[in-house]
Amino acid sequence: MAGPEPLFDKIALIGIGLIGSSLARVVRRDNLARHIAIATRSEKTLARARELGLGDSYTTDAAQAAKDADLVIVSVPVGSSGDVAKEIAPVLKPGAIVTDVGSTKRSVIAQMAPHMPAGVHFIPGHPLAGTEKSGPDAGFADLFENRWCIFTPLPGTDPAALERLSEFWRRCGSNIDTMDPDHHDKVLAIVSHLPHIIAYNIVGTANDLEAVTQSEVIKYSASGFRDFTRLAASDPTMWRDVCLHNKDAILEMLARFSEDLASLQRAIRWGDGDKLFDLFTHTRAVRRSIIEAGQEIDVPDFGRQAIEHPRK
């Protein structure tokens, strides 16, 4: 029996790294578009995307890919989204939907919205799905399965366009939420940006220690350190841009984090075992709630292997 009709005639994927190539794979697998146009900055990444057979047409010219597209998805580091918007703006067809996947929203809106022509539906988005890997080889069609995709629509957004884009993401496997951009940036600062910054920091500290050798850090890493190194292996360009483009919310959360860390430090110094036990009991419950919400599975190694490579 034939599956459902494609949702779009032509989808343009601008940026074909982890997120863009995962979209290409799910769009192809589930027949969500008749034509997938791929654009990326470098010839090298473009050649790899072509080898992997991720699309129907390939170019290093974002405007060429965006021309005649019904849906344009910009999946580049957030600091580059303004340049891409400027490049594609002159060719966008009236009625087209333009969205992005950037990890920060206020800054992306400030960069992209001014370039968007009248009659084009610009709907900022952010799929809360990823890994520490990057590039076109890193993507997989199941990446968005049972993950949230948050839209931060601008005032006056056409409800029909929003529904069409929501349906696209639902067909990619995601659950949909909408949020005010500033609120999105605060929420993401605590659930994503701070954990990555803490991971970068702790791995950096361990690397700089003189009392413990680097080979000991590696050898005994399974005691906890290893779990931080996964986050700290994330793409440097992407995370540099996240830090620069969600500065206010990240600094606010870091201030709160430092206060709480000082309080924990005091409890350890004064041997306040009750305080430590209470905190560690509460935090254990948080992990249980995440498992119950289906956002993690309760197997060793934090379940990454099982999540990223589900057994068929």
Question: Does residue 135 interact with ligand NAP by CB under 6 A?
Answer: yes
- Count of residues that interact with ligand NAP, criterion CB under 6 A: 25
Q: Indicate if the alpha-carbon torsion angle 259, 265, 266, 268 is positive or negative.
A: positive
Which tokens in the block code for residue 217? Answer: 């850090």
Q: Closest CB to ligand NAP among 72 and 101?
A: 101
- Specify the residue, 55 or 102, whose C-beta has the smaller distance to ligand NAP: 102
Q: Does 101 bind ligand NAP (CB under 6 A)?
A: yes
Strand partners, 97: 71, 121
Q: Least Å distance between CB 293 and ligand NAP? A: 18
CB of 134 to ligand NAP, least distance (A): 3
With H, G, I as helix, E, B as strand and everything else as coil, classify residue 6. Answer: coil
DSSP assignment string, 36-49: EEEE-S-HHHHHHH
Q: Nearer to ligand NAP by C-beta: 75 or 166? A: 75
Q: How would you list the strands of the sheet with 125-127, edge to edge?
A: 125-127, 148-151, 175-178
Mask 61-100, x = binds ligand NAP (CB under 6 A)? --------------xxxx-x---x----------------
Least distance in angstroms from the C-beta of 79 to ligand NAP: 7
State residue 241 phi and psi, 5-degree precision.
Answer: -65, -40
Binding track over 23-42 against ligand NAP, x by CB under 6 A? -----------------xxx
Least Cα distance to 60 among 82, 81, 37, 79 occurs for 37
Tell me how far CA of residue 119 lies from CA of 62, 124, 190, 275, in angstroms: 20, 16, 36, 57
Per CB under 6 A, the list member of 125, 130, 153, 173 interacting with ligand NAP is: 130
Q: Which residues bind ligand NAP (CB under 6 A)?
A: 15-20, 40-42, 45, 75-78, 80, 84, 101-103, 127, 130, 134-135, 235, 238
